[in-house]
Structure formats: structure tokens, C-alpha cells
């Protein structure tokens, strides 16, 4: 349990500092252009990693066709310009319906 509390406290501090850094530091200076290129690519690289790690799980132990089908529904809804809430709910509903049908 103390692992969780330590992680929460540290994440809160880190999160605050990250959000504060840009506005506090920017002044009239800027980061060098090459670093901005990398920082800009952090989000897509890590978001893809998070989706994959969550879906695959350690040693690919979490793979579940109903989750993947749900994510396909979320992707389809997003590509059809559905708002985030609708897209996420579409994914949850697709997973739930498939589990109801085949579970």
C-alpha cells in the first residue's frame, strides 16, 4: 500500500512541475528546435505504448479479442469524429455486448 501512496505523491509533484515548467520558464526564451521535435513525438510514442501494454499485458497474458473489438469500435467512432465520451462508451459497449453474446 505504501508503494501506491509514494507513487501518487511523486506523480503529483512531477505532474505539477511538468505543467508549471513551460509557463514559468518560457519568458522570452525557447527550447532548441531539435528538442521540440522529440518532445512533440513523445505523446504519440507513449500513448501507443500505453495502449499496447494495456491490451497485451505482461508476457502478452491479457490479450482479449473482446477488448480489441471494443477498441476497434472506439477507433471507428473517433474517425467518424465522435466526441471522446461517445468513442470510449462505444468501445465499452462493444466489449460488453460481445461478452454477453459469447461469454
Partner 1 sequence: MSLGTATFVLALTFGALARAEGWGILAPVVSSLIVFSGSAQFALLTALGGGGGVVPAVAAAALINARFLPMGLAIAPSLRGRRARRALEGQAVVDASWAAAHVGEGRFDRELLIGATLPQWPLWIAGTWLGAVFSPPQHVVHDLGLDTAFPAFFLVLLLHEAAATKRARVAAVLGGCIAAGLVTVLPPGIALIAATAAALVGLRRFRQRPREARS
Considering the rule CB under 8 A, would residue 100 count as an interface residue with partner 1?
Answer: yes
CB 55 within 8 A of CB 68: yes
Q: How many CB atoms lie within 10 A of CB 94?
A: 21
Helix (H) or strand (E) holding 32: none
Q: Binders of partner 1: how many residues, by CB under 8 A?
A: 77
Shortest Å, Cβ 32 to partner 1: 10
Q: Return the C-alpha cell found at 78.
A: 473517433
Q: Which of residues 33-52 bind partner 1 (CB under 8 A)?
A: 33-34, 36-52
Shortest Å, Cβ 78 to partner 1: 5
Amino acid at each position: 500500500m505504501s508503494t501506491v501512496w509514494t507513487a501518487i505523491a511523486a506523480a503529483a509533484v512531477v505532474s505539477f512541475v511538468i505543467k508549471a515548467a513551460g509557463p514559468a520558464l518560457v519568458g522570452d526564451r525557447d527550447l532548441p528546435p531539435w528538442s521540440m521535435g522529440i518532445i512533440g513525438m513523445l505523446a504519440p510514442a507513449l500513448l501507443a505504448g500505453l495502449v499496447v501494454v494495456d491490451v497485451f499485458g505482461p508476457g502478452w497474458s491479457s490479450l482479449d479479442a473482446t477488448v480489441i473489438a471494443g477498441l476497434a469500435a472506439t477507433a471507428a467512432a473517433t474517425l467518424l469524429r465522435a466526441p471522446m465520451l461517445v468513442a470510449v462508451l462505444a468501445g465499452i459497449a462493444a466489449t460488453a455486448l460481445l461478452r454477453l453474446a459469447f461469454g
